[in-house]
Amino acid sequence: MGRKLLTEHINVEGIDTFDVYRKHGGYRSVEKAIKTMTPDEVVEEVKKSGLRGRGGAGFPTGMKWSFLAKPEGVPRYLVCNADESEPGTFKDRQLMTKLPHLLIEGMITSSYALGARTSYIYIRGELLYVLRILEKAVAEAYAAGFLGKNILGSGYDLDLHIHPGAGAYICGEETALLESLEGKRGNPRNKPPFPAVSGLYARPTVVNNVESIAAVPVIVNEGGNEYAKIGIGKSTGTKLISACGHVKNPGIYEIEMGVPVEEFIYSDEYCGGIWKGRELKAVVAGGSSVPILPKDLILKTAAGEPRLMTYESLSDGGFVTGTMLGSGGFIAMDETTCIVKNTWNFSRFYHHESCGQCSPCREGTGWLEKVLHRLEHGHGQMHDIDLIVNVAKQIEGNTICPLGEAAAWPVTAAVRHFRDEFEWHVTHPHEATRPGAVYHGGLVLA
Amino acid sequence: MTATAPLQFSLAAQAEIKRLLTHYPPERSKSALLPILHIAQAEFGGWISSEVQDLVAETLGIKPIEVYEVSSFYTMYNLKLVGKHVLEICRTGPCMLRGSDELTEQLERITGAKVGGTSPDGNFTLKEVECLAACGFAPVVQVREKYYEQLNTPEAVDAMLDELRNLVHRPILSWEENGLQNSLQTAASV
């Protein structure tokens, strides 16, 4: 049983209230940081912890913090990215619903480290009911003197506000999020300048994922070095994994980095295997954007080593035989899953969610959806398979924000690993469109 | 011919808007646009007409076009008249793997509405949406502030529809008024 750094108390009755949360050691990191540490010392602990951004990119959080510009007399902001929208990912929703005070504690301690006097949590609009939970918790934190003026008599002031989006995957991209927070369309900004220099209201801003912020209290309490002892290499600490699709026990699991993928899928401590006694066919390990891998390659690397739940192990082999940990949105697919249909579904998603600013993405995602639709529905030609790879390659790297890559990678990976299934859709259009018929490993399952 | 009274927010909504405006620097009050549009949608029957958008523009002291360009960007804002309940059915991969296509067909059959349209009795509007971040509890439907999860049996779907048939929406403006119970499932997971 691994250590639970974030979720140890998540099922304690009333843990969503200030009093119960406080009784279980809540808000200690705020006291420790504000009373005994300078802001720079807090940043130093986060650097030592090796914590990497939990939203998907995996960029070291402490380093991101150290880039924040600090011109005299100019306000700076911390914005929490709670726009959880990457298909397969639902960890932040669970964390905020059940442990709202953990996020708020993390926001206070982090804001202190960064010298922010006003901070925001930008939560996706669909989660308005979670916004209400957070607002209640924020009100409790104000009443207890952990927010507002002169926190704990230290002279440090902080206001924390919760801000809803309104339905747009793109607002999970940090500059689109900032545009949205300013009351505009969520169009990503050209970079540079990066938010660390010119972010919210053109002020220096740090944007961090919910889970990253939620890890700050334990890092401050136990020290960055202690945190870094958990995990393997540059994958330190614990990670929340959202398990979904065809696993027997879908849900959120807090794992120590380094759990073997095979154990994660098949152990009763985690997913409990594949539902209905079926075979695993493929996994999308880090949210819909990351390359899909067939069973053999998700369980073992191309070199035959067991694949581990770490940033490095999952990306072993690059995109040829590897994938990414991403956001930890772990989507398992059983043998009855049609890879072509699934790829079309994801392409429709990215087409729907493209903001439309950059032509390669706006037009390319539409092409991907359209061509995949005809392949799935038995109207495809053999050259369509190369066409979607070609279109994906022309989107990749040619857009302002990473939505382009996010749309391209699932397509190129699906063709790379399941080309025969795409070809079968072209050569056997009648069979491929028969309800329930699925191509799997050279066999047709009816 | 009698002139219609000019649109206005209820006193409760005005108070909430006033509170929201304290969240942003005074010269950046446009930041409150998205939350105010949510309030407007809740206040004026689940959708936002162009008159309502003009009211929002006036409230924030911005040009109507600044509201239109935002309201048309975000999928949660309904810009056309909708039924009493808008059922937002998640159609993205993880929900599809657990039966969202079948769920959509079932809802169309029971309600008599087609996706994008409203049932003849005016009760239900069906809308397909992308990932609702509840993939572990698929398939999922959102109705206003409530998530209905694990709708993979006819019984679960019936229970949702029965609950909705008897439900009168009232605008929820702050956490103190959130009467809807969203229960999160727990399994072996947290």
Residue with tokens 């857009």: A399
Q: What is the CA radius of gyration of chain B?
A: 18
Contacts of B138 in chain A (CB under 8 A): 244, 250
When pLDDT is averaged across residues A15-26 and rounded to a whole number, the result is: 98
CA distance B183 to B35: 24
Domain B11-73: give its CATH architecture: Orthogonal Bundle (1.10)
Q: Which residue of A has its CA nearest to B69?
A: A185
> Residue A1 — very low, low, confident or very high, per pLDDT cuts 50/70/90?
low
Instruction: Report CA torsion sign: B91, A207, A331, A243.
Output: negative
Nearest CA to B141 out of B106, B174, B167 is that of B106
Q: Please provide the average confidence, as pLDDT, over all residues in chain A.
A: 97
3-class secondary structure, A100: helix
Among the partner residues A185, A243, A342, nearest to B69 by beta-carbon distance? A185
CB atoms within 10 A of CB A279: 12
CA distances for A205 relative to A52, A197, A381, angstroms: 18, 7, 49
- What pTM did the predictor assign? 0.95
DSSP code, position B167: -
3-class secondary structure, A123: strand
Half-sphere exposure of residue A319: CA atoms within 13 angstroms, side-chain side = 13
Contacts of B190 in chain A (CB under 8 A): 4, 7, 10-11, 94, 98, 251-254
Q: Which residue of A has its CA nearest to B190?
A: A252
CA distance A433 to A155: 68
CA distance B51 to B57: 10
CA distance A406 to A273: 28
Question: What integer pLDDT is reported at residue A445 of this predicted model?
Answer: 78
Question: What integer pLDDT is reported at residue A103 of this predicted model?
Answer: 98
When pLDDT is averaged across residues A403-421 and rounded to a whole number, the result is: 97
Question: What integer pLDDT is reported at residue B179 of this predicted model?
Answer: 39
Question: What integer pLDDT is reported at residue A298 of this predicted model?
Answer: 98
Contacts of B75 in chain A (CB under 8 A): 166-168
Instruction: Write down the CATH number for the domain with range B85-165.
Output: 3.40.30.10
Q: What is the pLDDT of residues A88-108, one digit of tens each?
A: 999 999 999 999 999 999 999
DSSP letters for A2-56: ---SSSTTTTSTTTTSHHHHHHTTTTHHHHHHHHH--HHHHHHHHHHHT-B-TTT
DSSP code, position B86: E
By CB atoms closer than 10 A (0-12, 13-18, 19+), residue A327 is buried
Question: What integer pLDDT is reported at residue A443 of this predicted model?
Answer: 81
Question: What integer pLDDT is reported at residue B182 of this predicted model?
Answer: 46
The CA distance from A121 to the nearest CA of chain B, in Å, is 11
Show me where the domains of chain B are located.
11-73, 85-165
Among A102, A120, A129, pick the best mutation site for testing chain B contact (most B Cβ within 10 A).
Answer: A129
* Peptide bond between residue A435 and the one before it cis (omega within 30 degrees of 0): no
Among the partner residues B98, B135, B146, nearest to A129 by beta-carbon distance? B146
3-class secondary structure, A232: strand
3-class secondary structure, A93: helix
CA distance A318 to A442: 26
When pLDDT is averaged across residues A44-49 and rounded to a whole number, the result is: 98
DSSP letters for A261-319: HHHHHH-TTTT-SBGGGPPEEEEE-SSTTSPPEEHHHHHB-TTSPBPBSSHHHHTTTHH
Nearest CA to A368 out of A403, A338, A333, A331 is that of A403
When pLDDT is averaged across residues B61-67 and rounded to a whole number, the result is: 98
3-class secondary structure, B173: coil
Decide if pLDDT at B3 tops 80: no
Report all structural domains of chain A as residue ranges with CATH numbers, in order of start.
Answer: 18-229 (3.40.50.11540), 241-334 (3.10.20.600), 339-445 (1.20.1440.230)
Residue with tokens 């009232």: B170
Rounded to 5°, the CA angle A366-A367-A368 comes to 90
Among the partner residues B38, B91, B190, nearest to A252 by beta-carbon distance? B190
Q: How many CB pairs under 8 A join A and B?
A: 192
When pLDDT is averaged across residues A366-391 and rounded to a whole number, the result is: 97
Per-residue b or e along B16-35, where b marks 16 or more CB atoms closer than 10 Å to that residue's CB: bbeebbebbeeeebbbbbbb
Decide if pLDDT at B188 tops 50: no
User: Which phi and psi (to 5°) does residue B90 adopt?
Assistant: -75, 130
Decide if pLDDT at A41 tops 70: yes
A126/B73 CB distance under 8 A: no
Contacts of A251 in chain B (CB under 8 A): 136, 185-190
Contacts of A245 in chain B (CB under 8 A): 93-94, 97-98, 135
When pLDDT is averaged across residues A353-374 and rounded to a whole number, the result is: 98
Q: Which residue of B has its CA nearest to A75?
A: B25
DSSP code, position B126: E
Q: Answer for the pair A171, B74: CB distance below 8 angstroms, yes or no.
A: no
A167/B77 CB distance under 8 A: yes
Among the partner residues A11, A90, A92, nearest to B136 by beta-carbon distance? A90
By CB atoms closer than 10 A (0-12, 13-18, 19+), residue A149 is exposed
When pLDDT is averaged across residues B2-25 and rounded to a whole number, the result is: 88
Contacts of B73 in chain A (CB under 8 A): 168, 185-186, 355
By CB atoms closer than 10 A (0-12, 13-18, 19+), residue B6 is exposed
DSSP β-bridge partners for residue A440 = A443
Q: Which two tokens stand for residue A350?
A: 């990215």
Higher pLDDT, A440 or A374: A374
Least confident of B88-102, B108-122, B167-181: B167-181
Contacts of B130 in chain A (CB under 8 A): 85, 87, 169, 349, 352-353
Contacts of A335 in chain B (CB under 8 A): none
Higher pLDDT, A264 or B186: A264
Q: Which two tokens stand for residue A323?
A: 């994938």
Among B66, B131, B185, pick the best mutation site for testing chain A contact (most A Cβ within 10 A).
Answer: B131
B136/A252 CB distance under 8 A: yes
Q: Answer for the pair B37, B48: CB distance below 8 angstroms, yes or no.
A: yes
DSSP code, position A196: T
Give the list of residues 6+ apart from residue A409 with CB closer than 8 angstroms, or none: A289, A290, A291, A319, A392, A396
B97/A337 CB distance under 8 A: yes
A185/B73 CB distance under 8 A: yes
ipTM (interface pTM): 0.95
The CA distance from B171 to the nearest CA of chain A, in Å, is 12
Q: Which residue of A has its CA nearest to B185?
A: A251
The CA distance from A59 to the nearest CA of chain B, in Å, is 23
Decide if pLDDT at B51 tops 50: yes
B28/A93 CB distance under 8 A: no
Rounded to 5°, the CA angle A244-B73-B124 comes to 65
A349/B130 CB distance under 8 A: yes
Q: Please provide the average confidence, as pLDDT, over all residues in chain B.
A: 89
Q: Which residue of A has its CA nearest to B75?
A: A167
Decide if pLDDT at B190 tops 50: no
3-class secondary structure, B78: coil
The CA distance from A92 to the nearest CA of chain B, in Å, is 9
Among A94, A179, A240, pick the best mutation site for testing chain B contact (most B Cβ within 10 A).
Answer: A94
CA distance A166 to B70: 10
Element (H, E) at A239: strand A238-245
When pLDDT is averaged across residues B74-88 and rounded to a whole number, the result is: 95
Q: What share of chain B is helix, strand, coil (3-state, %, to 5)?
A: 45, 10, 45
A11/B145 CB distance under 8 A: no
A251/B142 CB distance under 8 A: no
Decide if pLDDT at B170 tops 90: no
Contacts of A94 in chain B (CB under 8 A): 184, 190
Kind of pairing between the strands at A438-440 and A293-294: unpaired
Contacts of A345 in chain B (CB under 8 A): 91-93, 96
CB atoms within 10 A of CB A375: 25
Nearest CA to A325 out of A389, A232, A417, A248 is that of A232
Give me the amino acid identity at A303: A
Higher pLDDT, B181 or A412: A412
Least confident of A57-71, A88-102, A152-166, B174-188: B174-188
